[in-house]
Amino acid sequence: MIYGTVLCLGDSMTFGARSEFGRGYPEELSKLLSDHFKQEWTCLNEGVNGECSIDVLRRAFPLVRDCASLPGPKWGCLMVGTNDSKNPDYPIDLYRDNLVQMIRIFRRFHIPLLLGTLPRVKGDCMPCFDTARSNAWIDKANAAIRILAEESHQGVVDFSDMESYLVDGVHFAYAGYVEMAKRWFARVTEH
C-alpha cells in the first residue's frame, strides 16, 4: 500500500469553521485523493481558529518536520491571512515575509507547497472586521501571494471568488469547503 500525506496549514478556513458537518477542506481532500489515486491519503488538518500568519509561522517548523518523516509522497497546502485583515494596518511586507519563512520551511524538508488566496469578507460580518478596510487589505495580500508564488515557483489555488459560499461573512458552509477541496485537488493532481 502507498501512503500519501498533505499537510494543510492555516486558520479557521483550514479548520472548517462553521461547516454544518464539522468537516473542512482537508477531510474532503483526503477522500478525493484516496479515491483518485487508489491509495491511502491523509490530509492533516492543522488549521487553528483565530490565528494570524505569524501564529501559523510559529507552529510551522515542527509540523512540517513531522510530516516529512512520514513515508510516501507529501504535499503542503497553506492558506492564512484572513485574521491578519482584522488589523488592516498590519504591514503587507510583514505578512509576505511570514509566508516566505513558511515556504523556506517546506523547502527545507523537500515538501512541495501550494498557496491559497483569500476570499474577501462580506457584509456586516463579525464585529472584529472592518469590511471595507479588511477587503482592501485582503486584496493587497492576494496580490502579494500571487507575486510570491511566481517568484518562489509555488503553485497558487485561487479562492478569491468564493464569496457566495460565505455563511457568516468570513467562513464557509460545508459546500464551500467541498469546493475548496476540489480546487486544491485540481492543483495537486496537475503534478
* CATH tag, 3-188: 3.40.50.1110
Tell me the per-residue pLDDT of 128-158, one tens digit each, with 9 for 90 and over. Answer: 889 999 999 999 999 999 999 999 999 999 9
Enumerate the domain spans of the chain.
3-188
pTM: 0.96
Under the banding of pLDDT at 50, 70 and 90, the label for residue 85 is very high
**With 70 as the cut, is the pLDDT of residue 113 above it?**
yes
pLDDT score at 190: 87
pLDDT recorded at residue 127: 78
Model confidence band, residue 191 (pLDDT cutoffs 50, 70, 90): low
The reported pLDDT for the residue numbered 125 is 72
Confidence at 77, pLDDT banded by 50, 70, 90: very high
Summarize pLDDT for 16-34 with one digit per residue, the tens.
Answer: 999 999 999 999 999 999 9
Q: What is the 3-state secondary structure (H, E, C) of the chain?
A: CCEEEEEEEECHHHHCCCCCCCCCHHHHHHHHHHHHHCCEEEEEEEECCCCCHHHHHHHHHHHHHHHHCCCCCEEEEEECCCHHHHCCCCCHHHHHHHHHHHHHHHHHCCCCEEEECCCCCCCCCCCCCCHHHHHHHHHHHHHHHHHHHHHHCCEEECCCCCHHHECCCCCECHHHHHHHHHHHHHHHCCC
